[in-house]
Each structure stands twice: as C-alpha cells, then as structure tokens.
Amino acid sequence: MINFKKILDDSNDLHKALESESDRGLVMIIQDNLNSELEKIHINRIYDKTNEDKNLAQSLLQGSFSPLSTFAARTKIAYGYGLIDVHTYKALESQRNLRNKAAHSSRTFALARDNSISIYNFSQLLMHIPCESIEEPFKSGIENFQKQIEDRLLLTDEDVRKVFIFTAELLRIFFIIYNFSKLLKSAKKK
C-alpha cells in the first residue's frame, strides 16, 4: 500500500534541502531524484512484462554498458514506449540539458542568468496540469505559477528557483503515483 504521508514528508524534506542548495546542486539533486523515479517506472514495466524477472531488469538498468543506465536513455525509451507523455518528455529533456550545463560548466552556474529558456521549457509541464481536478491549496499554487509562466513574470532568480523546484516536486510525485497505479494493475492481474 502506498503511504501518501511518507511521500509528502519526503517531499517536504527534499524541498527544505533544495532551498539551501546552490543552483548547481539544485539541478543535480533534482536530476538524481527524477532518474530514480524513471528507473522505477522501467522496473515496474519490465516486471509486468516478464513475470518479475529481476535479473533482466538489473541487466537493462544497472551497469555502465546497460542500455537503460543513463537518464537520457531512460527518458527517450519511456517516451518511445508511451510510459510518459510528450509534455513530461519535453520537461525531462529540458532538465537533462540543465543538468549537463550545470555539471560541465567551469564557471558559476546560475539557473536564471544563462538558462531561462530551459527553465521555461521545464516549467511548461505545469501548463498541462488540469487544475479543475486538483484540490486546494495545490490548485491555487499551480494556477499562480501557470499565470506567472504564461505572462513570463518570473523576474527574479528566486521566482525561477521556486518554479523549478515546484515543477520538479510535482513531476516526482507524478512518477510515484504512476508507479503505484501500475503496481495496482499488476497485482489485480495476478
């Protein structure tokens, strides 16, 4: 059974940790979290299709020569097989580009200064959330961010950080719920 309280507690802990991080650290931690959730999506899919063949999942996902060992491969294959939609795919690709800039920049990395297009593309995922299906206080928060993104009102570095963190947290929670729903479907088949 999924423990939603634990998910929210973990999200709160992650949010607190991210707020004190540098921009480079923020991008790297978010990438690591999203990569872990993508790995779980693939594991669940492989288990579902192979009657829980753990060796196959491990050989495909772990190790330097495994075909699904990188974030890029996990993202592209998940999109190619319909495990994620086009908006999620584009957001993940934007995040991957940000991560590569952060990891390979020899100077100080700043989210807002050099990366406004990637941040904007990543945050576009928020524009595709149907707010009518979300309860308060999340609904008003998402609508507020949608309005800021739509009007391009992300004027300060702090605004950019907030939208970036918020989008990443929503994406992470989406992946957790997605994985749980797949596990439920799999359990019902057995």
Q: Give the pLDDT confidence score for residue 184 in this predicted structure.
A: 60
What is the CB neighbour count within 10 angstroms for residue 144? 13
pLDDT score for 80: 92
| 3 belongs to a structural domain | no
Q: Residue range 73-98: average pLDDT?
A: 87
Domain count, the chain: 1
Residue 114 has pLDDT above 60, yes or no: no
Q: How confident is the model at residue 153 (pLDDT cuts 50, 70, 90)?
A: low
By residue range, what is the domain housing residue 26?
9-189
Asked, for residue 4, whether it belongs to a domain, the answer is no
pLDDT digits (tens, 9 = 90+) for 22-51: 888 888 888 888 898 888 888 888 887 887
Q: Decide: 19 and 180 in contact? Cβ < 8 Å.
A: no
Q: Are 118 and 97 in contact (CB under 8 A)?
A: yes
| List of E strands, the chain | none
Provide the whole-model pTM.
0.73
Q: Average model confidence (pLDDT) for the chain?
A: 75
d(CA 88, CA 35): 13
pLDDT at 168: 78
Separation CA 40–CA 22 (nearest Å) = 27
State the Cα–Cα distance between residues 140 and 12, nearest whole angstrom: 18
Residue 15 has pLDDT above 90, yes or no: no
Is 174 part of a structural domain of the chain?
yes
Q: Determine the pLDDT at residue 73.
A: 92
The vertex-36 CA angle with 121 and 51, nearest 5°, equals 120
- Tell whether the model's pLDDT for residue 96 goes beyond 70: yes
How would DSSP label each residue in 75-89?
A: HHHHHHTTSS-HHHH
Residue 72 confidence class, pLDDT cut points 50, 70, 90:
very high
Q: Where does residue 90 fall: left (phi above 0), alpha (psi -120 to 50 degrees), or beta otherwise?
A: alpha
pLDDT tens for 116-141 read: 556 666 666 665 555 555 555 566 66
Q: Is residue 2 part of a domain?
A: no
Number of other residues whose CB lies within 10 A of the CB of residue 180? 16
pLDDT, mean of residues 84-100: 84
Residue 180 placed within a domain: yes
| Domain-embedded: residue 153 | yes
Q: Is residue 170 part of a domain?
A: yes
CB-CB contact of 75 with 38 (8 Å): yes
